[in-house]
Amino acid sequence: MMHSIINTSAPKINLRIQSHHQDLYDIDSHHQKTLRQIVSLGPDMRKFAIYLCRNSNDADDLVQETALKAISKSDQYQPNTNLRAWLYTIMRNNFYTSCYKRAREKPGDLDCASDIPVEDCDTAYWHLRMTEVSSAMRLISPHLSQAIKLVAMDGYSYQRASEIIGCNIGTLKSRVNRGRAALRNRLGEDQMVTA
């Protein structure tokens, strides 16, 4: 008898979930059957999630995301087709989307001040440098300087900063990028940055 090294005790999914303000017990028998099948495939989904994520915590999150998406879209499932393949497709797409987001939101190495070696603390130099940056910030467009201040100086996430400003996250990222380029230009550091 072979024992599995993967813990298949996935978190239980409660069938008493509200879906579009309608109790699941009021849904027709086809949807109830589909939902029960989704829940019964939980351990298999967890195995596939662990294969994708290589981390049980992330795998549990991925299973939960997949189950919620599948339950909310269960009306799109075609009866008499492979439910496991449908769920695995949803899971794989969720996994790829999260990977793309993490890669897209990764801070650039050129922007990371912690990688710049500091030999000794020259307070006069850093005071002068801060004065130059402050002056350059006042010379660039206000919407660019606000985006840089929130993300780079105040440490807000792109998501939170976009909510504060009241714009889309993509717009905010564009403003931060253009603002950094404008600052480098104002500070005469264009030649130092390479792609």
Decide if 109 is inside a domain.
no
pLDDT above 80 (res 3)? no
pLDDT in tens, 81-110: 898 899 999 999 999 998 888 877 766 555
For 165-172, which contacts have Cβ atoms below 8 Å and span 24 or more sequence positions? 172/147
For the purposes of burial, counting CB atoms within 10 Å of the CB of 151, is it exposed (0-12), middle (13-18) or buried (19 or more)?
Answer: buried
Distance CA 70, CA 92 (A): 13
Decide if 123 is inside a domain.
no
Decide if 91 is inside a domain.
yes
Lowest mean pLDDT among 50-54, 103-107, 139-143, 185-189: 103-107
Decide if 113 is inside a domain.
no
Model pLDDT, residue 168: 92
pLDDT above 70 (res 162)? yes
Centroid of chain to Cα 114: 23
Judge if 85 and 144 occupy the same domain.
no
CATH number for the domain that contains residue 172 = 1.10.10.10
Start-to-end Cα distance in the chain: 56
Residue closest to 107 by CA, chosen among 54, 52, 152, 168: 152
Token pair for residue 74? Answer: 């269960």
Task: State the average pLDDT over residues 171-185.
Answer: 92
Lowest mean pLDDT among 14-23, 25-34, 63-72: 14-23
Centroid of chain to Cα 37: 29
Q: Say if CB 140 and CB 179 are below 8 A apart.
A: yes
Q: Most confidently modeled of 24-38, 71-85, 118-132? A: 71-85
Task: State the average pLDDT over residues 25-45.
Answer: 77
Instruction: Write down the pTM of the prediction.
Output: 0.43
Task: State the average pLDDT over residues 126-148.
Answer: 88
Identify the DSSP state of 73.
T
Model pLDDT, residue 130: 86
Which residues, 6+ apart, have CB-to-CB distance to 176 below 8 Å? 144, 147, 148, 151, 152, 158
CATH number for the domain that contains residue 99 = 1.10.1740.10
24 lies in which domain range? 18-104
Mean residue pLDDT of the chain comes to 78
Decide if 9 is inside a domain.
no
pLDDT in tens, 150-160: 998 888 899 99
Question: Model confidence at 12, in pLDDT bands (50, 70, 90)?
Answer: very low
Distance CA 130, CA 190 (A): 18
Strand partners, 18: 23
Q: Say if CB 172 and CB 105 are below 8 A apart.
A: no
Structurally, how many domains does the chain consist of? 2
Q: Is 175 helix (H, G, I), strand (E, B) or coil?
A: helix
